[in-house]
Amino acid sequence: MKLFKTLTVILFTCLILTSCENKTEKLVKNMAELKSAIDNAQAGDIIVMSNGIWKDANIDFKAIGSADKPIVLKAETPGQVFIEGQSFLKIAGHFLEVHDLYFRNGYTPINAVIQFKSDKKNAAYDCKVVGCVIENFTQLDRTKKDHWVEFWGQRNQLLSCYIAGKSNNGPTVRGQLKGNQHANGHHLIANNYFGPRPRRGGPRGETMQLGDSYTSMVPAFFEVRDNFLDHCNGEVEVISSKSNYNKFSNNVFYKCEGSLVLRHGNYATIDSNWFIGDDDSDNIGGVRVINTGHWITNNYFYNLKGNEFRSAIAVMNGIPKSPLNRYNQVTDVVIAHNSWVDCISPLQFSVGSNVNKSDVLPKSEIRSALPIRTAVANNLIYNSETVSAPIVKYYDTPGDIDFECNYVSGVNGVENFVGFENSEMTVVNGQSAVPFVELADPNAKLFDGFDFVTIKNDIFSNHRDVNHAGAICAVKNTKFNVLNVDKYGPSWFKVSKKNANAKRVSIKSHDELYASLENANNGDTIVVDADVLNLDKTIKIEKSIILTSTNKDKKARLKFTSADYSTAFELGAGVDINLQHLIVEGSKNTNCFEPNKDDMSIAANVFVDDCTLSDFHSIYRSKKGSFADTLKVVNSVMKNLVNGFVLDSETDDKGDYNAEFLLLENNQICDVEKVFVDYHRGGYDESTIGGNFVFNNNTVERAGKVGSKEVLLKTHGIVNVELLNNKFSSIKSGFVARLWGEKNNLESGNTVKGKSKIVTDEFVTQKLLY
């Protein structure tokens, strides 16, 4: 017996030594050494990139590993290998792994940052990218298209990565299915943290797009699970599923201004996901349904306020005999065992119906095919405060929808809806960020539909022994934290970052102002302790700052003295400028704010409060490709201007626009020679919020270009417009505003003295994007 044990130990030791002999670890310090190591790599090798900055690194990781001996490319220290400049990573071959690289301070010169393909003939199979970071690795020109991760081949995985900050054209993650070698992909996207994707001001800003219109009939089998998607606001489609047999499970969608959209393709599974909204936004959606055979089960929708495309469940109308790139009819869909908590009108059907637009749209665009053969059963709807909004909202005549055994609490008028019943419910963890709601009656009747027996577990993976309606059948851990971001992304990377270096600086001269800006940290407050500063050159804002006076009752005066056509404040990428309690004067050749044309990669924001802005050519002028998230002026005076806010640079009619929010409230405006607002979005597109213009409680005098067809506040194609409680007098333009009545263009409480007027056009002919 002892001899047997001794022989076993010797044999085991030999196996270990043999295994070690077959595994080579090589440290490389530059691109030449890296290329050589990759060219000579054998199964089991580990290639280690030395710590430091790798600039303009064009990495083509092409090799052949095996299932038990993958070839690994990794950082010497996780998070200490920085890939910068014009860099990319291509992966091609079999059983390759990449670990712990950090992409920052640059952009890709090709179509992708990480691409599971080297060229047309060489794709990746059974490869992994693990624990990597791609942060703000975005193009300087936001109209230039790329993807940050591009899937090709089969059975590849993106695991435990942090990906955030893409602001340019194109989905963050793109699944490619062109060719049989890329079909039946069975790719896995799991345990990643998809951080904020800023609003893009147009379409083509998805966080994930899995397939496209022309490969939408291809079986893909993507599995997207256990990811945290945080403020992914690029467009209305956070995830766009455009292929067949994809599965989305156990993901958290946190305050994402959009939805998980089953855009093309069939037979998707959406199970056990969390969709979490915000009281302050009605742009946060849930699931939008198009096409055939989807199962939507065990999902938890909390605090969603959206309508139509952004409702908690949006089931669309289709186009009869639809082309591949439009909308197929919804058929044979199951929506069962979901919970909607504090959601307004959670079930909306025939979304996108446009049968009343036949005069302004071609017949091929009319969405008249109602959803059919769809079951909505065993769901739970709960409101903490009773509401009167209907549970089910139709935008056309009801289709063939079977409602069965759905239970409701906190909604008036339930008796008007067949298949819904008032019932007592219990909040198990009332103090948590996301309350867990259960049905009080464990014996409530449930609908036993075809294949419902396959819904075996609830959202917590509890077996449905007590088969409650809704996503939760038993809360076994009331301290479960849905918003725990620590379990996503690389273990070495800190998701939350605070600006600890912000300071307050007092300046007395223009030289001190320029110096303080050169040395500024993000969040600095610069206080002007002088009566007047004469400024003879543009102030370049490269960090987010607050610029204010020492005494708000005795405002400092900033006088821009340059006679050349220029700008007073030039805004760098991603900065916020906040002016408070200042008088800012220019010349009729100067724009007050403009973006830096050399780097418009990330949206800049302008906030003005209690200031006087005068004698400028424009308050803000956009440039082609520029984008501001928010332009906000409140409690201020704007006078002696040629123009006000000129946001008209996107003239290609592709659905793009130059600012997401233009907010003007409680201001005094006078003596404007031409247009005060020119806010333009060309192209008929529903994949974006469509712009937001708020003009409330302002006084406007002596403004506008003379002419019966001229418009003072031009909002061509902007979807959300509010003109409320304003006073207009001596307006020279024929129109104060022409609103788009079909969209969310509202006016109320305005007074107009003189011949100018506010009109509403119900249906505006728009150029189609498709």
Percent of the chain residues topping a pLDDT of 70:
94
| Sequence-separated contacts (24+) of 553-556 with Cβ below 8 Å | 555/581, 555/582, 555/583, 555/611, 555/612, 556/528, 556/529, 556/530, 556/531, 556/532, 556/581, 556/582, 556/583
Q: Confidence band (pLDDT; 50, 70, 90) for 5?
A: very low
- What is the model's pLDDT at position 9? 44
Interval 116-134 mean pLDDT: 97
Interval 87-112 mean pLDDT: 97
DSSP 328: P
> Which of residues 704 and 430 earns the better pLDDT score?
704
Over 80: is that where the pLDDT of 384 sits? yes
- Least confident span in 17-26, 95-104, 321-330, 485-494: 17-26
Percent of the chain residues topping a pLDDT of 90:
72
- What is the model's pLDDT at position 368? 87
Which single residue is written with the structure tokens 């699931």? Answer: 287
Over 70: is that where the pLDDT of 522 sits? yes
- What is the model's pLDDT at position 574? 87
Interval 2-14 mean pLDDT: 44
Over 80: is that where the pLDDT of 477 sits? no
- The per-residue pLDDT of the chain, averaged, comes to 91
- Inter-CA distances, 359 with 308, 473, 644, 673, Å: 22, 50, 35, 37
251-308 pLDDT tens trace: 999 999 999 999 999 999 999 999 999 888 888 999 999 999 999 999 999 999 988 8
Instruction: Report whether 340 contacts 379 (CB < 8 A).
Output: yes
- What is the model's pLDDT at position 600? 77
- What is the model's pLDDT at position 668? 98
The CB density around residue 204, as the number of other CB atoms within 10 Å, is 21
Residues 298, 300: Cα–Cα separation, whole Å: 7
- What is the model's pLDDT at position 763? 61
Report which listed range, 381-385, 437-441, 595-599, is most confident: 381-385
Q: Confidence band (pLDDT; 50, 70, 90) for 433?
A: confident
- What is the model's pLDDT at position 744? 84
Over 80: is that where the pLDDT of 472 sits? yes
602-628 pLDDT tens trace: 888 999 999 999 999 999 999 988 889
Over 50: is that where the pLDDT of 672 sits? yes
Interval 73-89 mean pLDDT: 97
Over 80: is that where the pLDDT of 562 sits? no
Over 90: is that where the pLDDT of 747 sits? yes
Beta pairing partners, 115: 90, 150
Distance between the two ends of the chain, CA-based, in angstroms?
78
Phi and psi for 118 in degrees, rounded to 5?
Answer: -95, -45
Over 60: is that where the pLDDT of 712 sits? yes
- What is the model's pLDDT at position 22? 53
Instruction: Report whether 532 contacts 555 (CB < 8 A).
Output: no
Residues 209, 27: Cα–Cα separation, whole Å: 36
Instruction: Report whether 106 contacts 144 (CB < 8 A).
Output: no
- What is the model's pLDDT at position 603? 84
Q: Confidence band (pLDDT; 50, 70, 90) for 686?
A: low
Token representation of residue 237: 């489609």
Strands 645-647 and 193-194: unpaired
- Inter-CA distances, 172 with 155, 234, 286, 337, 403, Å: 19, 10, 19, 31, 37
Q: Confidence band (pLDDT; 50, 70, 90) for 418?
A: very high
Over 60: is that where the pLDDT of 18 sits? no
Over 60: is that where the pLDDT of 489 sits? yes
CA dihedral 139, 140, 141, 142 (to 10 degrees): 60
- What is the model's pLDDT at position 637? 98
- What is the model's pLDDT at position 6? 45
